[in-house]
Amino acid sequence: MRSLAQSTFTYYSHHEDDTDLLGKLLAACLIPGSVLTLDGDLGAGKTRFSQGFARAIGIQEHVNSPTFTIIKEYEGTKLPFYHMDMYRISQEEADELGLEDYFYGTGVTLIEWSSLIEDLLPPERLAITISLQGDQTRVFHLTPHGDPYVSWCVQMKENGYLQ
Ligand SMILES: Nc1ncnc2c1ncn2[C@@H]1O[C@H](COP(=O)(O)OP(=O)(O)O)[C@@H](O)[C@H]1O
Ligand SMILES: [Mg+2]
């Protein structure tokens, strides 16, 4: 009961390898239609996290911030991967992206700067906010919305990865 009622979980990354490990742990949980959001200041590590995560789902290509393209699609060995960056988008453009086709499709979606399109996000998702603590330390705050995401977090906590 105690852990199921918890609303935010915390992961400490003291090194980029720790950030890669979180990507691997989450990649192991994925199902078609999984949606993860990434927020946090410039330089927090949203794109760096995305790179480790993409690698963990079998994408060989180098992953960058799709700041100008907004959406970049990759073919993973496990699942298609849709990497989004909403930093420069207008509300009208966002409305026309057809995001539901991604969210309810067969792939996994990762959205940087999701707070800028809050109204368009699906009700079920894993919200991740990253904060900087010094040069190398990053604190990942994971807030699951919906049962599947709650069980991912509870499982990772039971395994000692989350607090
Ligand atoms: N523990 C860590 N996890 C992730 N990135 C880290 C970490 N320590 C240092 N960094 C550095 O922080 C920067 C994060 O940049 P980036 O991922 O582009 O940020 P954002 O996409 O949030 O603007 C990278 O230069 C990365 O090398
Ligand atoms: Mg970025």
Three-state SS annotation for 94-148 = HHCCCHHHHHCCCCEEEEECHHHHHHHCCCCEEEEEEEEECCCEEEEEEEEECHH
Question: Nearest 5°: phi and psi at 80?
Answer: -65, 150
Atom of ligand 1 nearest to the CA of 112: 21
Ligand nearest to the CA of 46: 1
Q: In which residue are the tokens 């609303």 written?
A: 7
Which residue is closest in CA terms to ligand 1's atom 11? Answer: 45
Q: Label the pairing between strands 35-39 and 125-133.
A: parallel
Q: Which of 36, 77, 43 is nearest to 57 (CA)?
A: 77
Domains delineated in the chain: 9-158 (3.40.50.300)
Query: What pTM did the predictor assign?
Result: 0.95
Ligand nearest to the CA of 65: 2
Q: What is the pLDDT of residue 11?
A: 98
Q: What is the pLDDT of residue 65?
A: 86
- Ligand 1 binding site (Cβ under 6 Å of any ligand atom): 13, 15-16, 18-19, 40, 42-48, 65, 136, 138
Do the beta carbons of residue 104 and residue 32 sit within 8 Å? no
Which H or E run contains 37? strand 35-39
Question: How distant, in Å, are the alpha carbons of 89, 111, 161, 162 from that of 117?
Answer: 9, 10, 29, 27
Q: Please report, in tens digits, the pLDDT of each residue of the chain (163 residues total).
A: 454 567 999 999 999 999 999 999 999 999 999 999 999 999 999 999 999 999 999 999 999 988 888 999 999 888 999 999 999 999 999 999 999 999 999 999 999 999 999 999 999 999 999 999 989 999 999 999 999 999 999 999 999 999 9
